[in-house]
Structure 1
Amino acid sequence: MLDSLLFLLIVLPVLGGLACYALPSRHLRGAVVVGTCVVTAAASLALLGNGAFATTPGSLFFIPVRGLVVLLDFTLLFAILAIAFKLKNKLIQLVFAAQIVLLAWFELFMATPTGAPTFFADTLSIIMVLIVSIVGSLICIYAIPYMQAHEEHLHLDRTRQPRFFLFLVGFLGAMNGLVLADDITFFYLFFEITTLCSFMLIGHDGTDEAKKNASHALLLNGVGGLAFVIGMMWAYSAVGTLSIQEIVAAGPTAQGLLFALALLCLAGFTKAAQLPFQSWLLGAMVAPTPTSALLHSATMVKAGVFLVLRFAPAYAGTFLATAIAVCGAFTFVATAALAVSQSNAKKILAYSTISNLGLMICCAGIGTPQAITAGVLLLIFHAVSKGLLFCCVGHIEQHIHSRDIEDMRGLSAVMPRVAMITLIGLLTMMLPPFGVLLAKWMAIESAGHNLFVIVMLAIGSALTVLIYARWGGNMMNAPHNAEPKHPSMPILTSFPLLAMVCGALLLSLAAPLLYSRLVEPLLPIAAYVVEAGSLRNPVGAFTLYPLFILLGFGVFYAMRQVMKTREAHRSTPYFGGANLPDSTGFTGPLRAPVPYQSANYYMTNVFGEEKLTIWINLGAGMLLAMLLGGALS
């Protein structure tokens, strides 16, 4: 039974992707994507029912699994090296050639099988499998009609969808393999498969910008892969095992292990696009929206956070832990500040993703039961809400031909259904009683011993509210007497959006259950007591269900008042001259019409990328140097 579930979660998505690549028919390809995603999601729920496990499959397709992984490791690295030569990028060539040499040395002269299980799952792994297999599957289904419209807009002579779905669906299998791997060489294989998949998906459209940004992503993630190989070799020298669980159990007392953990966390930083590595994820915005949604919510960047969280018990209470907490908090506040100056919706979501990932990594560094609870819950809630928001932006962009939030002004009148779904997604990211704010409250509370971290988390949280409230206000600013247009929405678009918006709401309601069933088993001692719909500890309490009841009454009252409104006389604002009859401006000098335009203030003179990025990157670089130097000393 367990071997079958592992096959469905890891191998089936890869086979489904290969089938998509081979099938010429768009309808057959769509059926394969839906079928693969449904089976993968069902398998993840079955794994949840199965519970924690450790296992070592003997073979796959009659090939010993260990030998197959070694073969795939080198095949993958040589394939990426070939791509690097095709790109004529010497840095990428150097990075992956170094990985090949180091991995060959490790496999030939250092590593010996230790009898540790190949795959291992605790509730953290199972949570990640659920995120990848359910949220990731919904995004893959959403991509079916999206990519058809995307290619119609580009007027392509020949479809590129087979290659796109090969890597999009295959990504799910690679991520499931990564989060379930206990053998660190297996982890490394899947870690680098995600690097290849992201490169292919970012460069999918084939424009010069897409190729450039894909190459940049390959380089930075290749640097992370190189750090991983060195950290893996260093950890093996220190502990003498390939098992991640045994490395974690050895803890910081093993001589030399702390620096190995620092290198592994550095690899996680690059994958999670933490400062100063954020540029690859911002560049990934040129990809089709399903790619952005998958990378930001369920796969690529979450792999980096998972890595840092997985090794958190091994460096808890050390200088490395404090450095990781400070680095994460700095990323949280700095990228939230950079998001303030943005009006491009995808870029806002990109910066806010990096910001929230920084908060998760900060929680891993703080390392207390309260902080780990916050980090894991944020991992769950952020995945659903951010996947939803990216998909909403993609759908909106295809109808209004813009992703600028200023062009979304009054969207509630033009596209009321998707505007309401988007608004709910924004609210779940910033307001109580929803899960993201609950996790942020836990994170700030857990950082009580570090005033510097608390200040950064508080400022970052305030900036996040500004970012999302401005966007939501734009959408609800509908013109007077506007008529809704209700543009059509394919079932394969509406179903993922409705599933994710319902998931964002219901998961917040289920936060106490998520804590007691999934998070608490990860902790050495209980962080909270679930009592009467509240999460309590000696410091304070978050009264979840009373807040939901209050929210329900508020929504009911607001809707009742809206239904009671009647047509009234409307006074137009004074613009500095006689208003034009249609109120679009005023009569100016020489009786010339002067149009007006309303827009938000983005404070680019304070928060602009060109003003802040270089200083923020310098600061992040110094923090990373501190992290590595402190771990080595």
Structure 2
Amino acid sequence: MSNLLLLLILLPVASALVCYFVRSSAVRKLTVLGTAVVLTLASVGLLMQGTFEPIAVGSFLGISSDFLITVLDFALLGVIFYLGLKHKSLLIQGFTLAQAALLVWFEIVMLEHDAVPALVGDQLALIMVLVISIIGSLICVFAIPYMKEHEEHLHLKKSRQPRFFFYLVLFLGAMNGLVLSNNILWMYFFFEVTTLCSFMLIGHDVTEIATKNAVRALWMNALGGLAFVIGMMLVYMKAGTLDISAILAAGPQGALMITGVGFLCLAGFTKAAQVPFQSWLLGAMVAPTPVSALLHSSTMVKAGVFVVLRFAPAYVDTFLSTGVAICGAFTFVTCAALAIGQSNGKKILAYSTISNLGLIICCAGINTPLALTAAVMLIVFHAVSKSLLFLCVGTIEQAIGSRDIEDMRGLYAKLPRTALITVIGILTMLLPPFGVLMCKWMAIEAGADTNIFVITMLALGSALTVVYWARWGGSLMCSREQDTRTESQPMLTSLPLMLLCGGAIVLSLASPWIYNSMLAPWLGTAPFTLSFGSLNSATGSFAVVPLFVVLGLGVLFAAKAAAGFRRVKIMPPYLGGANSSTDGTYIGPMNGDVPFAAGNMYLGELFAEGKLTPIFNALAIALIVLMLGGAI
């Protein structure tokens, strides 16, 4: 058990060092592939061994592991402060100095330095390790050929891949350490490591806009780090321990504890890019696509929702719980609305990610077994489908030179495999019987027992979500062109895409058994029963396997009906009697030929990002202040 845990945390660190110091592309490729395989096997092995109680971690080279983490904490803050000086950011400098000062006070004056078991493995932690180690590894594998082509496009004289893969792989170890931590100080350290890694990866291309967005990400997450330290100190003042398992077992313990947990939730909000902190994640899309996939799907943003979920038992049935639910639901509906006005594929995915993270946080705030089921399962299904879609957009962008969904019309004629995988990825986010929609159904069921504001925002956000997914999917499927070319991709590009696509389908099909074997024991009170491949509750059921059977039959029928479509003559569109003699054009002003063109409506005036964002940010700040004020 201990060997597996150390492997999951320390192997990525060792592999990152190899990627950085051994400047051989062949060695780097083998290192990344080997790390991906070992992490995948280790995460599955840890799952097979089952949950485990908190365990201690011994010394390292004769140095206490807790002391080593403390030293690394201050070293990390020193690095972040230096970056604040380098980029002349007073916010980074101020937030970092405040963290360091509070940590000194905490370590020297407040903390009694009792031994605390460092690592724990409940069902939530094991599920998160699987998500990080498997999906994160596939993203790293995809990055091998992607970064080669990316640097060829930039015409770099000297490769930056050693540094890129150093932080990319290190990310995985930091995330595994965070989700397995039972000591709050350990969790804080790994929390800050992800902050540093995200800064370095967002600014990887060293352009002016990349640097600007990296600095913004750093100061916002430094604010989250400061909130984490304040929350940790307040929790310790009340509980007298850093042992997360003991804190959670005791449940809510008065205003001081609830306030401390409220600040921990605020730290989770910043890391998960909840409104009004969403701008750092939107800015992260300037980074190479594997960075976007890693930050938006399986790692950094999931660290934020994990913190809120991890401490949910400590604020159940409190005003803070209601406040968390309202803030999450607000992000869910507002970012779904902002996504409607976008045509940039990466930006749609970014807003969709923030929106879904808001839904997960809302479920953590609702804090019932049904809501927690929806939250954890949505983490899994969202990570698979969203990482798939980010990698698809990156592949498409390198092929056609654009990430605009309007430029993806007729994509099937040029990139049939990628287009089909992208459509499947979109459908897994949109339709039954796939897991994301099932989780939204669970969330709305859970929200029905809360206040009117939460359930209204969940219903409206779900409706808005349909608009931008259906529009994108429709654009991909509206091809009128014929092309006999076959798509050629490197194996390390196609393999992650195929595995993630298959995983999105298989995991949705297996969702009843995933719930029954992994979530029901963790929840204690099971909101669902399993029968005939369906999840049944007192208020309804989701017939997973029967719906998949219907879907399979529908796909077979559609394939048979469309078998001869390539032999059908494509006719020009009917243009209301104004067709000209040239196919695909109509008679326009001054009797001139005007080419026919199709395009989506983006309702720019109604869903104007520039106008709505300041309003949403102001409202979100007010909600967070009310949430923390109510807790105090």
Contact 2:335–2:355 (Cα < 8 Å) also in 1: yes
| C-alpha deviation, 1:456, in angstroms | 1.0
Amino acid at match of 1:478: S
Give the match for residue 480 of structure 2: 479
Contact 2:175–2:299 (Cα < 8 Å) also in 1: yes
Q: How does 1:5-44 map to 2 (within 5 A)?
A: 5-44=4-43
**Cα deviation digits, residues 188-223 of structure 1 (max 9, x gap):** 000000000000000000000000000000000000
Q: How does 1:292-371 map to 2 (within 5 A)?
A: 292-371=292-371
Give the match for residue 621 of structure 1: 621
Q: 1-side partners of 2:628 and 2:366: how far apart?
A: 17
Q: 2-side partners of 1:344 and 1:580: how far apart?
A: 35
Q: 1-side partners of 2:70 and 2:611: how far apart?
A: 46
Contact 1:113–1:242 (Cα < 8 Å) also in 2: no
Secondary structure of residue in 2 paired with 1:249: helix
Amino acid at match of 2:135: V
| C-alpha deviation, 1:62, in angstroms | 3.9
Q: 2-side partners of 1:329 and 1:478: how far apart?
A: 37
What count of residue pairs does the alignment treat as equivalent? 629
Per the alignment, do residues 606 and 255 of structure 1 end up closer, same or farther by CA in structure 2, a change over 3 Å counting?
closer
| C-alpha deviation, 1:512, in angstroms | 0.9
Give the match for residue 464 of structure 2: 463
- Displaced runs of 4 or more, over 3 A: 575-578, 587-593
Contact 1:416–1:484 (Cα < 8 Å) also in 2: no
Give the match for residue 183 of structure 2: 183
Q: How does 1:561-572 map to 2 (within 5 A)?
A: 561-565=561-565, 566-568=567-569, 570-572=571-573
| C-alpha deviation, 1:484, in angstroms | 4.1
Q: How does 1:489-500 map to 2 (within 5 A)?
A: 489-500=489-500
Contact 1:580–1:587 (Cα < 8 Å) also in 2: no
Q: 1-side partners of 2:175 and 2:570: how far apart?
A: 58
Secondary structure of residue in 2 paired with 1:471: helix
Q: 1-side partners of 2:448 and 2:469: how far apart?
A: 27
| C-alpha deviation, 1:309, in angstroms | 0.4
1:598 matched to 2:598: yes
Secondary structure of residue in 1 paired with 2:626: helix
What value does the CA root-mean-square deviation take over the aligned residues?
1.3
Contact 1:9–1:40 (Cα < 8 Å) also in 2: yes
Secondary structure of residue in 1 paired with 2:571: coil
Moved more, 273-282 or 606-615: 606-615
Per the alignment, do residues 327 and 155 of structure 1 end up closer, same or farther by CA in structure 2, a change over 3 Å counting?
same
Amino acid at match of 1:18: L
Give the match for residue 201 of structure 1: 201
| C-alpha deviation, 1:578, in angstroms | 4.4
Give the match for residue 441 of structure 1: 441
Give the match for residue 502 of structure 1: 502
Moved more, 353-362 or 482-491: 482-491
Amino acid at match of 2:312: A
1:120 matched to 2:111: no
Q: 2-side partners of 1:252 and 1:429: how far apart?
A: 35
**Cα deviation digits, residues 248-280 of structure 1 (max 9, x gap):** 223222451000010000000000000110000
Give the match for residue 98 of structure 1: 98
| C-alpha deviation, 1:614, in angstroms | 1.0
**Cα deviation digits, residues 82-114 of structure 1 (max 9, x gap):** 111111111110110111111111111111233
Per the alignment, do residues 19 and 369 of structure 1 end up closer, same or farther by CA in structure 2, a change over 3 Å counting?
same
| C-alpha deviation, 1:572, in angstroms | 3.2
Contact 1:360–1:375 (Cα < 8 Å) also in 2: yes
Secondary structure of residue in 1 paired with 2:120: strand
Name the % identity.
Answer: 56
| C-alpha deviation, 1:124, in angstroms | 0.1
| C-alpha deviation, 1:580, in angstroms | 4.9
Give the match for residue 386 of structure 2: 386
1:75 matched to 2:75: yes
| C-alpha deviation, 1:156, in angstroms | 0.6
**Cα deviation digits, residues 41-99 of structure 1 (max 9, x gap):** 11111110111122112123443211110111011000111111111111110110111
Q: How does 1:571-610 map to 2 (within 5 A)?
A: 571-574=572-575, 577-583=578-584, 585-590=585-590, 592-610=592-610
Per the alignment, do residues 277 and 321 of structure 1 end up closer, same or farther by CA in structure 2, a change over 3 Å counting?
same
| C-alpha deviation, 1:570, in angstroms | 2.5
Moved more, 12-21 or 566-575: 566-575
Give the match for residue 142 of structure 1: 142
**Cα deviation digits, residues 559-614 of structure 1 (max 9, x gap):** 1111155525735322774425241x234455543233221000010011012111
Give the match for residue 560 of structure 1: 560
The TM-score, its normalising length taken from structure 2, stands at 0.98
Contact 1:530–1:536 (Cα < 8 Å) also in 2: yes
Q: How does 1:522-541 map to 2 (within 5 A)?
A: 522-541=522-541
Q: 2-side partners of 1:230 and 1:569: how far apart?
A: 65
Q: 2-side partners of 1:614 and 1:278: how far apart?
A: 12
Secondary structure of residue in 1 paired with 2:530: strand
Per the alignment, do residues 158 and 575 of structure 1 end up closer, same or farther by CA in structure 2, a change over 3 Å counting?
farther
1:169 matched to 2:169: yes
**Cα deviation digits, residues 528-569 of structure 1 (max 9, x gap):** 101111111111111111111111111111111111555257
| C-alpha deviation, 1:16, in angstroms | 0.4
Contact 1:415–1:486 (Cα < 8 Å) also in 2: yes
Q: 1-side partners of 2:570 and 2:382: how far apart?
A: 43
Structure 1's unaligned 5+ residue stretches are none
Q: 2-side partners of 1:61 and 1:6: how far apart?
A: 18
1:546 matched to 2:539: no
Give the match for residue 374 of structure 2: 374
Per the alignment, do residues 592 and 148 of structure 1 end up closer, same or farther by CA in structure 2, a change over 3 Å counting?
same
Give the match for residue 227 of structure 2: 227
Q: 1-side partners of 2:385 and 2:169: how far apart?
A: 21
Contact 1:17–1:170 (Cα < 8 Å) also in 2: yes
Amino acid at match of 2:46: L
Give the match for residue 248 of structure 2: 248
The TM-score, its normalising length taken from structure 1, stands at 0.98
Q: 2-side partners of 1:293 and 1:567: how far apart?
A: 39
Structure 2's unaligned 5+ residue stretches are none
| C-alpha deviation, 1:619, in angstroms | 1.0
Amino acid at match of 1:390: F
Contact 1:251–1:313 (Cα < 8 Å) also in 2: yes
Contact 2:84–2:92 (Cα < 8 Å) also in 1: yes
Q: 2-side partners of 1:575 and 1:198: how far apart?
A: 53
Contact 1:535–1:542 (Cα < 8 Å) also in 2: yes
Give the match for residue 45 of structure 1: 44
| C-alpha deviation, 1:526, in angstroms | 1.0
Amino acid at match of 1:528: F
Contact 2:572–2:583 (Cα < 8 Å) also in 1: no
